[in-house]
Structure 1
Amino acid sequence: MREESKEDGRREYTKADVNELRAHSKAKTRVAKIAKLTKRSEGSLRQKAFKLGIGLGHQR
């Protein structure tokens, strides 16, 4: 696992982050609201959801 870098602004998804994303997917929370709560971009959330095979937003 790489150390968090302040240069590129990226943050790794932890197991807790993934579990939270799955819960929001199940609850059908809007992507914009999830983005504000997690302090991540909508694009980042959509990419992660796609990789996990879960639906977010209009992709359901």
Structure 2
Amino acid sequence: MTPKTERNSGDDWTDEDVAELKKLAEENTPTRVIGLKLGRTEDSVYNKASEEGISLKPVNQSPHG
């Protein structure tokens, strides 16, 4: 998915937005980047993730592979 150019701030979240949020969160995408990709503020991303039970905490990965 390419980054959206329009802002969605204030708009309702669509099922597609929530699915993209979940996918990006699972890929350890930084919250700021998720917001940019979805055209949302970081606060909006945090709030929606909380509502949907999506963890935005990075998954710890061993630096030694």
Normalised by the length of structure 1, the TM-score is 0.75
Which portions of structure 1, spanning 4 or more consecutive aligned residues, are displaced by more than 2 angstroms? none
8 Å Cα contact 1:31-1:56 kept in structure 2: yes
Could you list the per-position Cα deviations for residues 1-41 of structure 1 after superposition, in whole angstroms to 9, with x for gaps in the alignment?
xxxxxxxx610000000000000111010001111111100
Identical residues among aligned pairs (%) = 30
Q: Let me know the Cα RMSD of the aligned residues.
A: 1.4
- Structure 2: how far apart are the matches of 1:54 and 1:27? 12
The match for 2:3 is none
Return the structure number with greater relative CO, CA threshold 8 A, min gap 6: 2
User: Mind listing any 5+ residue stretches in structure 2 that lack a counterpart?
Assistant: 1-8, 59-65
Corresponding residue for residue 25 of structure 1: 25
Structure 2 residue aligned with 1:51: 51
User: Could you tell me how far apart the structure 1 residues matched to 2:57 and 2:42 are?
Assistant: 10
SS in 2 for 1:11: coil
Length, aligned pairs only: 50
TM-score (norm 2): 0.70
**Structure 1 or 2: more helix by fraction:** 1
Cα distance in 1, alignment partners of residues 31 and 38 from structure 2: 10
Unaligned ranges ≥5, structure 1: 1-8
